Amino acid sequence: MKRLDILTPIGIILGVSVFAFGVISSKGVSGFLQFIDIPSIIIVFGGLTAALCISFPIKDLKLMFTVIKQAFSHEEYELNKLIDLFVHLADRARREGLLALESEIESVDDTFIKKGVLLAVDGIDSDVIIDIMKAEISAMEERHRKGRNLLEKAGEYAPSWGMIGTLIGLILMLNDLNDPKSIGPSMAIAIITTLYGSLLANLFFLPIAAKLSVKTEREVFVKQVIIEGIVGVQSGQNPKLLSEKLSAFISKSDQELPSEKEMSEEE
């Protein structure tokens, strides 16, 4: 089940708040107006868009907002419940045979688990099942890598275009040195583009890319646990031994959490 990942918006809001505090503490609320420069915004966002258009095909660029959206939600994986599911499937398979799992698996929402169990029900060899499911994991990792690559490149290009805007401002300023009073304000405006690019890269693009990388690692780990569970069910492994084997994949703190089965027994 996907839920809102509250840490992503909290992190962005906190970063913006720190920036705002730095401005207000020295210049007051009116100081914000000094950090708004339309030409600088156009240079950074326009240049960033141009660089991404050159770097990626249109079909990848269309996925940009979908990829970003993933950082604001997370898939809940309760490994104890996952282990309970495979223990239950293993127990039923030993008592009634693998064919009995076909109706059992209909109520499971996870398509990866469904696919693996149905392959086992069809009598596919365990090595083949592992190969098929690992190929699916590899394909998933490649899709995620492409999405992260968009954000990582945006994180590289944004500060560069900020620096380009600064250089443009400096050149224009140096061409107008006749008025010493204009040097200070002109320099401030020139540097604003670098600020925009750095903020975009270090508060948005690169942190989101890092979060998506962590999410992928977690998803791959869970899918590896699922593969072990399916192979255990397919091979007719003792449910208790299968539970012990799968429990080795989860942390001690997770193991201490009561499983659904234990909670129902307590009630």
pLDDT along the chain (267 residues), means of 10: 81 90 72 79 94 93 89 81 90 88 84 91 91 94 92 95 89 74 71 92 95 92 92 89 87 50 43
- Residue 173 φ then ψ, to 5°: -70, -45
What does the pLDDT look like over 110-165, one tens digit per residue? Answer: 889 999 999 999 888 989 999 999 999 999 999 999 999 999 999 999 999 999 98
Query: Quick one: pLDDT at residue 258?
Result: 47
Query: Quick one: pLDDT at residue 27?
Result: 66
Q: Which amino acid is at 258?
A: P
What does the pLDDT look like over 204-225, one tens digit per residue? Answer: 999 999 999 999 999 999 999 9
d(CA 51, CA 200) in angstroms, rounded, equals 15
**Cα 69 vs. chain centroid, distance in angstroms?**
9
Query: Quick one: pLDDT at residue 75?
Result: 76
Note if the pTM is more than 0.85.
no
Closest by CA to 219, choosing from 47, 101, 20, 211, is 211
